[in-house]
């Protein structure tokens, strides 16, 4: 999942840039200036589908909104336009992205458009992009592990971030840590593959406990080995790359809930069942909440470390 990371850090806060530097460290391919496009026809179709019955029922109640009211005619007109889009095609992707550097390298002669497949897309300020990316991909290994994260299984990331990721020193650090980085990616991939198999088999009651154990006993140790290898690197090299660490918790991908809220096992199982079930449907039937998973500093993982 983290082998290829796609984001646009231009509008990131300082804290979001720290998370991005962690992703940069572990990813083999990292693109930080992507331009995302949400298919407006898909958006219109979903708005029409979700709002049309409710608003139409309200409009049908003359005591609530008289027939002569101009707002009533306007609402019905807009809903009609949304439902009559001649350009809507369910075979169109819900989300695509473009890499400006790739466009420039081709001399601007063509527009290289990418449809999300197995990339990890990090767009913290625009939750709809992450949601549309999940709906576009459907249920596969790379989304199966995100379903688990949305259900409260926290997937640890290395507690290592760098301010100077454009420096040659940072590239050298990634090369030195290649073995540990790849071991972490293999652990993530293995968990994602098995998670997909278990979700396809609909083993919902067992998958939560299994995922919690995988995250704790396989992902966390691979993170620790990466951190330990980093700690013995040349200090001047790390200093020039401006290394820092989270003091407030362990960076992780987890549920889009505040630290004060907790997810019970029963709720987690329901979340897993609902999200995986939706992603397993045909693309026009997939529905994912705007906020599902986030990158955060996990206090829970720090306590268990």
pLDDT one-digit tens code per residue, 139-182: 999 999 999 999 999 999 999 999 988 878 898 999 999 999 99
Q: Is 35 helix (H, G, I), strand (E, B) or coil?
A: strand
pTM listed for this prediction: 0.80
Which whole number is the average pLDDT over 204-223?
A: 94
Residues 151 and 287 in one domain: yes
Bridge partners for 5 per DSSP: 30, 120
Residues 78 and 219 in one domain: no
Residues 267 and 193 in one domain: yes
> Is 200 part of a structural domain of the chain?
yes
- Give the range of the structural domain holding residue 65, as residue numbers without chain letter: 41-83
Bridge partners for 6 per DSSP: 31, 121
Is the predicted pLDDT of residue 33 greater than 80, yes or no?
Answer: yes
Which whole number is the average pLDDT over 275-287?
A: 90
pLDDT-derived band at 247 (thresholds 50, 70, 90) equals: confident
Residues 60 and 154 in one domain: no
Structure tokens of 251? 């960076």
Kindly report the backbone phi and psi dihedral angles of residue 272, in degrees, each rounded to the nearest multiple of 5, phi listed first.
Answer: -60, -45
Q: Is 302 helix (H, G, I), strand (E, B) or coil?
A: helix
Which whole number is the average pLDDT over 195-203?
A: 92
Number of H helices and E strands in the chain, helices first, is 13, 11
Is the predicted pLDDT of residue 81 greater than 70, yes or no?
Answer: no
How many Å apart are CA 229 and CA 39, to the nearest integer?
44
Is the predicted pLDDT of residue 45 greater than 70, yes or no?
Answer: no
On the 0-12 / 13-18 / 19+ scale of CB atoms within 10 A, 142 is: buried
Residues 216 and 269 in one domain: yes
Widest CA span of the chain, in angstroms? 77
Q: How many residues does this entry show for the chain?
A: 305
Q: Over the stretch 87-117, which tens digit does the pLDDT of each residue have?
A: 556 677 888 898 888 877 777 666 788 999 9
Round to the nearest angstrom and report the end-to-end CA distance of the chain.
23
- Domain boundary at 57, 83, 109, which? 83
Bridge partners for 250 per DSSP: 298
Residues 193 and 74 in one domain: no
Taken in order 202, 204, 209, 211, the sign of the CA dihedral is: positive
Q: Given its phi and psi angles, is residue 161 left (phi above 0), alpha (psi -120 to 50 degrees) or beta? A: beta
Fill in the DSSP letter of residue 215: I
Residues 129 and 65 in one domain: no
Which residues lie closer than 8 Å to 53 by C-beta, 6 or more apart?
A: none
């Amino acid at each position: 999942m983290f082998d290829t990371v796609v984001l646009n850090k231009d509008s990131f806060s300082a804290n979001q840039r720290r998370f991005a530097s962690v992703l940069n460290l572990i990813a083999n391919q990292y693109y930080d200036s992507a331009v995302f496009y949400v298919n407006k026809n898909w958006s219109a179709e979903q708005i029409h589908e979700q709002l049309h019955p409710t608003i139409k029922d309200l409009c049908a109640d003359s005591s609530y909104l008289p027939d002569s009211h101009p707002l009533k005619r306007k609402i019905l007109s807009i809903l009609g336009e949304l439902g009559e889009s001649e350009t809507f095609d369910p075979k169109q992707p819900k989300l695509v992205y473009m890499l400006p550097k790739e466009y420039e390298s081709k001399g601007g002669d063509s527009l290289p458009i990418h449809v999300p497949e197995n990339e990890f897309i990090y767009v913290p300020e625009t939750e709809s992009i992450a949601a549309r990316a999940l709906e576009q991909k459907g249920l596969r290994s790379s989304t199966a592990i995100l379903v688990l994260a949305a259900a409260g299984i926290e997937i640890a990331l290395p507690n290592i971030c760098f301010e100077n990721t454009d420096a040659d020193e940072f590239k050298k650090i990634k090369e030195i840590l290649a073995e540990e980085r790849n071991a972490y990616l293999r652990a993530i991939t293995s968990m994602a593959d098995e998670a997909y198999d278990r979700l396809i088999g609909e083993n919902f009651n067992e998958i939560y406990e299994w995922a919690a154990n995988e995250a704790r006993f396989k992902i966390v140790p691979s993170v620790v080995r990466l951190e330990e290898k980093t700690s013995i690197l040349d200090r001047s090299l790390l200093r020039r790359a401006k290394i820092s660490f989270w003091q407030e918790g362990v960076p992780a991908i987890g549920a889009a809930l505040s630290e004060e809220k907790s997810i019970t096992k029963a709720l987690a199982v329901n979340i897993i069942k609902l999200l995986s079930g939706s992603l397993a449907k045909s693309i026009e039937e997939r529905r994912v909440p705007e906020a599902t998973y986030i990158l955060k500093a996990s206090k829970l993982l720090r306590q268990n470390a």
